[in-house]
Amino acid sequence: MALMGQMMSAPLLISSIIKHAARYYGSTEIVSRRTEGDLHRYTYRDCELRARKLAQALGALGVQQGERVGTLAWNGYRHLEIYYGVSGMGAVCHTVNPRLFPEQIAYIVNHAEDGYVFFDLTFLPLVEGVAPHCPNVRGWVAMTDRAHMPAESKVPLLCYEELLDAQDGNYEWPQFDENLASSLCYTSGTTGNPKGALYSHRSTVLHSYASAMPDALGCSASDVILPVVPMFHVNAWGLPYSVPLVGAKLVLPGPKLDGASLYELFEQEKVTFSAGVPTVWLGLLQHVQANQLKFSTFRRTVIGGSAAPPAMIRALEALDVEVIHAWGMTEMSPLGTASKLLAKHHDLPDAERHKIQEKQGRVIYGVDMKIVDGEGKELPWDGKAFGDLLVRGPWIIDRYFRNDVSPLVDGWFPTGDVATIDADGFMQITDRSKDVIKSGGEWISSIDIENVAAAHPAVHMAACISAYHPKWDERPLLVVVKKPGAEVSREELLQFFEGKVAKWWIPDDVAFVTEIPLTATGKMQKLRLREQFKDYKLPTA
């Protein structure tokens, strides 16, 4: 007969995280730069009380368990209260990316069937444009106090602070099945309509536990953590959960994400650890280097969302900041791998150690991965064979929201990324399968080309895309934004590749531009670039 374990059964609920932070790290600070312009500080104890008031207010508005509540908001304390108040009372916190086109936002709000949408004042014009197309939203809530409410608005608005003021906070977080939905994020939908990844309380709590571990993000109560990655980009990579879980001080930068504003906040609040996409670090690095600044306390950062160029990893290292290169996706909550060294790597010469840190890294417990060839046959872990990367695990998507077609292949989720895995399990992304350059049937990694270009002192940003070639089908074209005041010619740049990549990988041409379009999550928008250069005539063609 089966013998059951005899331990207490406690559901893994998101409310337990903020309850824990309030009870055991009650006086630890949360500091936010507000859209109103000033810095706001309070503690985990204050945050939990206000999240309870919000849960009461949502009940008073008639929000039901399982109902979706949208947000259009920056990283700030009110957004954090919504994360906990909404999920904690059993509704679903649906973060919407305000950088998407208004039509996409309306599509997402309607597809999710959001009952209410909370928004930061910055986004009032967006709300006024979108609201007429979202007839099922019962109320739009401005995340501010009465004094800052807009004098007039085309849409009837509710006031966040008034909703909270009407409640006493006398509220017990409800207990329910840990498999219930907790939050919802849509993919950015570079092709076709965005698709929703619906997380559960269980998946979120497990992901928070695992991602806080030393070989993942390594968060601790002795850290001061500033997520630059927006709370609308896969829940800021889970940091709004894992930071309170470990009881670290949390710093939320609001709408000011330029290098100077970030640097000031890093220094003032003694930030030790941060996370963001490569384009954010470009801005911060530029500011720090141009003004010959140093970081007093900032020592580690996670870079992910797109490949961290080796030159960026080295530049941060020169400022005493360790880079943890991480990989994941919306469908994975998002963390899959992180690149932390093994004990045997510590004595390696710098160059070899760097090669390992540049990879996207090893899986964290809970994630299983494999690479397969075109026929689905598993490929060896030799660091050379590359194929489609598949993953599975308890915080990886099973199905998209309101979509009956399973995306899985034999129980595995195909990531759309192409990768190698070495004998120690370090995975390296070769490319997004749509971005790889197929030259005469052979593949060229656009990421490798971009990494070389990014190391050139005159290059601010570089994207490598395929351009049509009559003989080879596709050949690499390098699109470059120069650093302000820097000069470099096409020939000099192409020469820079000699000896760094195989000869046939060297791009056929360089196009200098003033700007590379970015996606709503700050990644280089290669699809747009390919459209922009679709009639480009290579000199080799």
CA distance 429 to 418: 6
Show the site string, 511-540: x = touches ligand AMP by CB under 6 A, - = not.
----------x-------------------
- Nearer to ligand AMP by C-beta: 133 or 370? 370
CA distance 99 to 84: 23
CA distance 518 to 319: 26
Pick the piece of the chain touching ligand AMP (CB under 6 A) from 97-105, 415-423, 477-485, 506-514.
415-423
H-helix segments, 12-151: 14-24, 44-60, 77-88, 102-112, 124-130
Q: Which residue in the set 67, 81, 388, 417 belongs to the binding site for ligand AMP (CB under 6 A)?
A: 417
Residue 374's nearest CA partner among 362, 383, 386 is 386
Cβ neighbours of 381 (radius 10 Å): 17
The catalytically annotated residue of 36, 322, 443, 483 is: 443
DSSP string, 130-186: HGGG-TT--EEEESS-GGGS-S--SS-EEEHHHHHHT-----PPPP--TTSEEEEEE
Residues with Cβ within 8 Å of 535's Cβ and at least 6 positions away in sequence, in order, are none
The catalytically annotated residue of 331, 358, 450, 474 is: 331
CB 337 within 8 A of CB 310: no
Catalytic status, residue 187: yes
CA distance 441 to 139: 54
**CB 433 to ligand AMP: min, Å:** 9
Residue 399 one-letter amino acid: R
**CB 485 to ligand AMP: min, Å:** 30
Taking CB under 6 A as the criterion, which residues in 108-147 touch ligand AMP?
Answer: none
Backbone angles phi, psi at 132, to 5 degrees: -60, -20
Q: Which residue in the set 247, 305, 393, 507 belongs to the binding site for ligand AMP (CB under 6 A)?
A: 305
CB 252 within 8 A of CB 228: no
Q: Which residue in the set 325, 340, 482, 526 belongs to the binding site for ligand AMP (CB under 6 A)?
A: 325
Long-range contacts of 339-348 (CB under 8 A, 24+ apart): 339/426, 340/214, 340/215, 340/216, 340/218, 342/424
**What are the percentages of helix, strand and coil residues in the chain, rounded to 5?**
30, 25, 45
Pick the piece of the chain touching ligand AMP (CB under 6 A) from 1-9, 170-178, 410-418, 487-495.
410-418
* Cis bond upstream, residue 230 (ω within 30): no
Based on the shown chain and the rule CB under 6 A, indicate whether residue 330 belongs to the binding site for ligand AMP: yes
Q: Which residue in the set 204, 357, 415, 445 belongs to the binding site for ligand AMP (CB under 6 A)?
A: 415
Catalytic status, residue 443: yes
Taking CB under 6 A as the criterion, which residues in 191-220 touch ligand AMP?
Answer: none
Q: Which residue in the set 112, 429, 463, 477 belongs to the binding site for ligand AMP (CB under 6 A)?
A: 429
Based on the shown chain and the rule CB under 6 A, indicate whether residue 360 belongs to the binding site for ligand AMP: yes
CA distance 539 to 541: 6
**CB 307 to ligand AMP: min, Å:** 4
- Nearer to ligand AMP by C-beta: 54 or 429? 429
Catalytic status, residue 370: no
Pick the piece of the chain touching ligand AMP (CB under 6 A) from 205-213, 323-331, 401-409, 525-533.
323-331
**CB 54 to ligand AMP: min, Å:** 27
Catalytic status, residue 95: no
Pick the piece of the chain touching ligand AMP (CB under 6 A) from 52-60, 89-97, 140-148, 325-333.
325-333
CB 464 within 8 A of CB 453: yes
The full length of the chain comes to: 541
Pick the piece of the chain touching ligand AMP (CB under 6 A) from 324-332, 343-351, 448-456, 464-472.
324-332
The catalytically annotated residue of 154, 270, 438, 537 is: 438
**CB 106 to ligand AMP: min, Å:** 20
- Nearer to ligand AMP by C-beta: 78 or 432? 432
Positions in the binding site for ligand AMP (CB under 6 A): 187-188, 234, 304-307, 325-327, 329-330, 334, 360, 415-417, 429, 432, 521
Task: Give me the active site residues, please.
Answer: 187, 331, 438, 443
